[in-house]
Structure 1
Amino acid sequence: MRVTATKGLTAVLALLLGGYVFVVGPHLAGEQERGRTAAIDAALPPTTGIRPTPADGGGGPAPTFPARGEVFVGIMTDEGVHDLTEAARFTRRTGHRPQVYEFSLDWASDRFDARLIDNVARRGMMPLVAWEPWDHREEPEEEQLRGEQPRYRLSRIIDGAFDAYVRSWAEGIASLGYPVGIRLAHEMNGYWYPWCEQANGNRPGEYVRAWRHVHRIFERAGATNAVWVWSPNVHYENATPFEGLYPGDAYVDWVGLSGYYGTTGRENYRSFDAIFSASERRLRRITAKPLAITELGATDAAGRKAEWIAGMFRALPRHPRIIGVIWYQAFRVIDWRVTTSPESVTAFASGVSAPRYRTPWSPDAEPRRRL
């Protein structure tokens, strides 16, 4: 068969492409992955171990986290537990290693994986799972429809439809030994998730019953290292009142709040106190549990993010009940990241450098369960 110039060129190109796909491409991908891992290790160096030492092993009582009078400063990222690149970037830019790392996992697609959670803990950050009973892959663009997933109605959780899945997590968390935060079904006082009582055909009282049901499964599995974080959105007009959604002090370790400056429809400047103080007072009427701000962020649309951050750090000492804040270090419709401008980075680095925000976390630490 006669080989033409065109056929010969095609063969050469095919050979080169094959070489790239099967040899060069994987090599470059491997180099990129090793570079990414090295950058994460440099900013968030792993510690020597993650299995806690028994308190009676001669080392004295376990430290309390956070220490009395101190406040942790953590972050939450879009990549979550699967990629710590943003956490490393945040640490390099601000000079602050987050003591708590929050990440979202849903009941439809995320199985318990000790390796991923260990990877957070061994870097000196307490893992905090925003554990979501829904399928986030089916989230519609229309906010009013986000809460409609009949498979994840609260009644199905109560009736045991997800018991095997919950039990696998309970047993997995128990096997870790160190504290892991469980922020179960957050922002339940709104309408935008399937576990909200205002959505998905749910009925009043079912949220508390579902929470207690999941909590009991963890108790039976011996997962006493789970730190239960009940975390509504800051109260707003037409929100479901906190009182009817609180599971009770026997089922909660920390209470939390989500709140942002600059959400759509509320772009006017509002200080930290303006966003959180009223809701904090409401919470104080139903529980004395420690409070962690489990999601917060600020827009820079009006160029006031640095001002807001500086104001937050000035305000926090006036809120002795707050034991920690978790910044939403991500771009979701709005760029909430601290690192959007040098001014914001400077304001954050300056504020977080105060000694009260340097409380360390270790696997041996006992989470503060009372003020």
Structure 2
Amino acid sequence: MKRIVLTLAVVAAVVAAATAVTLSVLSTSSDDDDGGGPAALPSSTPDGRPPAIATSTGPFQAGPVAPPASGSYLGAWVRPASLTESGRLAAMTTWEEALGRPMAIVNTYRRFDENFFNNSDREFAGRGTTLMLSWAGGDTRLVTMGRYDELIRERARELRSFGRPVLLRYRWEMDRPNLRAQMWSGADYVAAWRHVRRIFTEEGATNASWVWCPTAEGFTGGYAPEFYPGDDAVDWTCVDVYAGSKYATIGQLMRPFLEFCAAHPAKPVMIGEFGVARTWGTEQRAAWLRDASATFKANPQIRAVVYFESDPTDNKGPTQQFQLSDNPVLLATFRAEIAQDPHYTPMTKARPAPHRQPRK
């Protein structure tokens, strides 16, 4: 149990740090705040309809976790009140019961040197849920130098032994400013990604769909695309997008990302993390969720959406708190607009990976 507590505590710390930095980019200057509270939700297009930009309907090249034939998978990261495996299972069960349905995807976070799977992960998989492993990665130049090859091979063998298809979100949000010293450059990140994926292939770990997931801010700033490893090395494109300190529609926040996806029509799109901050109040948050659902449906290349159901303890202030389940109105909105909408009812049907012996 001691090992479990430490592991999940690290998970919470990794998630909190990631969210804090992602959201700091969304902060507006003080002269943008007139003290009058949030403005009405702006329309995504002049006629009020969300933007239809990423409109590809396939066929998709997605690896072992195939997208649904239509609609979108729904998933979540749900922060447990108790940092134990039983607490994690209880948190997800409570979330699913409140929404009246199971999640197709359960997101979890791992350090670079941490084992991929624990008992709660196996329990989720046994329920028919697909796991998404958000794996932190390491210094890109040390990775490509071979410093971590044995560690990477251990993780690859662990994944192969797991036997079920998973979503592997290797070093998500690699474009964050606070990771620049570790990532070095887009070219270094691409080289590291390809190095890691090659080792997984050599070890016969072919049961992962590789998910590339920068921030929405990285696309707005124009620098996220330099981290793209290429269509031949990526299975799902992905973005993390929040209305934190800045209140704007999700379509506005991720328009540059959707334009990028439209140029890669063979790749299904995932919203790896999304949320609207507590600071905006119930009415504004509910409007944001309704618009988010409309935007997802207007862009059929989006085949998976994963909510960030958490108020990270290390992130101070309501601009960095996204939990919905403690607000009956918001929970009802999320349930009606997303969880119970037929567009989001598909469950993952990951096809088994072909068995391959590791290369000698």
Question: Which protein, 1 or 2, shows the higher relative CO under an 8 Å CA cutoff with sep ≥ 6?
Answer: 2
Q: 1:192 to 1:85 in 2, by over 3 A?
A: farther
Structure 2 counterparts to residues 193-212 of structure 1, below 5 A: 193=179, 198-200=180-182, 202-212=184-194
Q: Residue 67 of structure 1 aligns with which residue?
A: 68
Q: 1:316 to 1:112 in 2, by over 3 A?
A: closer
Asked whether 1:357 is paired with 2:344, we answer yes
Quote how far apart the aligned CAs of 1:312 are.
1.5
Please point out which of 261, 273, 288 is paired with 1:308.
288
TM-score, normalised with respect to structure 1? 0.69
Q: Is the partner of 2:101 in helix, strand or coil?
A: coil
Quote how far apart the aligned CAs of 1:240 are.
6.0
Return the alpha-carbon distance in structure 1 between the equivalents of residues 345 and 254 of structure 2.
23
Asked whether 1:127 is paired with 2:131, we answer yes
Structure 1, gaps ≥5 residues long: 1-62, 134-151, 367-371
Quote how far apart the aligned CAs of 1:99 are.
0.5
Please point out which of 194, 213, 222 is paired with 2:195.
213
Quote how far apart the aligned CAs of 1:114 are.
5.6
Quote how far apart the aligned CAs of 1:203 are.
3.9
Quote how far apart the aligned CAs of 1:111 are.
1.9
Amino acid corresponding to residue 343 of structure 2 in structure 1 = R
Return the alpha-carbon distance in structure 1 between the equivalents of residues 101 and 208 of structure 2.
25
Deviations 1:280-317 (A, max 9, x none): 10233356311000010111322121221122122221
Q: Is the partner of 2:273 in helix, strand or coil?
A: strand
Q: Residue 330 of structure 1 aligns with which residue?
A: 310
Q: Residue 248 of structure 2 aligns with which residue?
A: 270
Structure 2 counterparts to residues 228-247 of structure 1, below 5 A: 228-236=210-218, 239=221, 241-247=223-229
Q: Is the partner of 2:168 in helix, strand or coil?
A: strand
Q: Is the partner of 1:256 in helix, strand or coil?
A: strand
Please point out which of 161, 174, 183 is paired with 2:169.
183
Asked whether 1:85 is paired with 2:90, we answer yes
Return the alpha-carbon distance in structure 2 between the equivalents of residues 113 and 300 of structure 1.
32
Return the alpha-carbon distance in structure 2 between the equivalents of residues 64 and 282 of structure 1.
22
Q: Residue 156 of structure 1 aligns with which residue?
A: 142
Asked whether 1:171 is paired with 2:171, we answer no
Q: Residue 99 of structure 1 aligns with which residue?
A: 104
Q: Residue 57 of structure 2 aligns with which residue?
A: none
Q: 1:219 to 1:311 in 2, by over 3 A?
A: same
Number of residues of Structure 1 aligned to a counterpart in Structure 2: 277
Q: Is the partner of 2:169 in helix, strand or coil?
A: strand
Please point out which of 230, 238, 250 is paired with 2:232.
250
Q: Residue 288 of structure 1 aligns with which residue?
A: 266
Amino acid corresponding to residue 78 of structure 1 in structure 2 = R
Q: 1:64 to 1:93 in 2, by over 3 A?
A: same
Q: Is the partner of 1:260 in helix, strand or coil?
A: strand
Return the alpha-carbon distance in structure 2 between the equivalents of residues 204 and 66 of structure 1.
27
Return the alpha-carbon distance in structure 1 between the equivalents of residues 127 and 287 of structure 2.
31
Q: Is the partner of 1:161 in helix, strand or coil?
A: coil
Instruction: Verify the 8 A CA contact 2:174 2:183 in the aligned structure 1.
Output: no
TM-score, normalised with respect to structure 2? 0.71
> Superposition RMSD on alpha carbons, in Å?
2.4
Deviations 1:144-202 (A, max 9, x none): xxxxxxxx421101111111111111111112222111100111122123xxxx32472
Fraction of identical pairs, as percent: 24
Q: Residue 32 of structure 1 aligns with which residue?
A: none
Q: 1:238 to 1:276 in 2, by over 3 A?
A: closer
Q: 1:223 to 1:81 in 2, by over 3 A?
A: farther
Please point out which of 322, 340, 344 is paired with 2:326.
340
Structure 2, gaps ≥5 residues long: 1-63, 354-360
